[in-house]
Amino acid sequence: RNQRLVAASLGLLRNLCGNDEIKTNLCLGSSSSSSPSILPHLLRSMQLHPSTALIQEHGCGTLAAMALRRPANARAILDADGPRWVIVAMRRHKSNVNVQRQGALAVRNVVSRLLRDLPEDKNGAGAAAGVASVGNERSSVRDAFLELGAEAVLRNIAGRHQGSVDEAYAALRDLGCTVSLVKFNADDLQKKSNQR
């Protein structure tokens, strides 16, 4: 019964996070109403119910929605060890395409939102200390996921599901991993098969 309540609550939070102002207040807390952040509770729910796929799907989906278009939210998720619980969920629910899709979206949204606002390092190693700190920030964002094994999870689990392959590709790309996406037309494949 507790798991159903947690899943329903996370599902509600996930839907509420479709609104930018609401998701920021939920993720960071609201100073105007003295409301605390729900982020620690969301992550704790994922920790307490690792075998419940619906909780993991809604947890990853809520994190993905919170990070979308909101760099401060993405930073809070990163700082709260959110990447760890996304990767744990994806590893634990290898055959659940919904968990894989939402997990890949969470990885992509956190990484891309944090890296998007950093200036590009066009000089390679960089000439000034400011450029070096940007490079360090870029590395720390990516490493938060890569050190947890995100590349293998995205390639070997999420990338093998038709319903999450595009999200896995985008997450790998934003993590800076070498990746290629091959698409084919089923009609063309059938024609070639008939020609043999």
Residue 182 CB-density burial (10 A; 0-12 exposed, 13-18 middle, 19+ buried): exposed
Per-residue pLDDT of the chain (196 residues; tens, 9 = 90+): 799 999 999 999 999 999 999 999 999 998 777 889 999 999 999 999 999 999 999 999 999 999 999 999 999 999 999 999 999 999 999 999 999 999 999 999 999 999 876 556 555 544 455 555 666 777 888 999 999 999 999 999 988 899 999 999 999 999 999 987 666 666 766 676 677 6
pLDDT at 23: 97
Maximum alpha-carbon separation in the chain: 70
Structure tokens at 159: 């990338």
Report the pLDDT value the prediction gives residue 87, as an integer from 0 to 100: 98
The DSSP line for 72-111 is: HHHHHHHHTTHHHHHHHHHHHTTT-HHHHHHHHHHHHHHH
Query: How many CB atoms are located within 10 Å of the residue 102 CB?
Result: 28
The pLDDT of residue 44: 98
Please tell me the predicted confidence (pLDDT) of residue 138: 72
Which residues are registered as beta bridge partners of 30? 35
Q: What are the Cα distances from residue 175, in Å, to 11, 62, 139, 145, 184?
A: 27, 20, 9, 8, 25
- State the pTM of this model: 0.84
HSE value, Cβ hemisphere, 13 Å, CA-based, for 148: 22
Beta-sheet strands, E only, within 107-171: none
**pLDDT score of 126:** 47
- Find out whether 17 and 63 touch, Cβ atoms under 8 Å: no
> What are the φ/ψ torsions at residue 35 (nearest 5 degrees)?
-85, 130
- Other CB atoms within a 10 A radius of the CB of residue 188 amount to 9
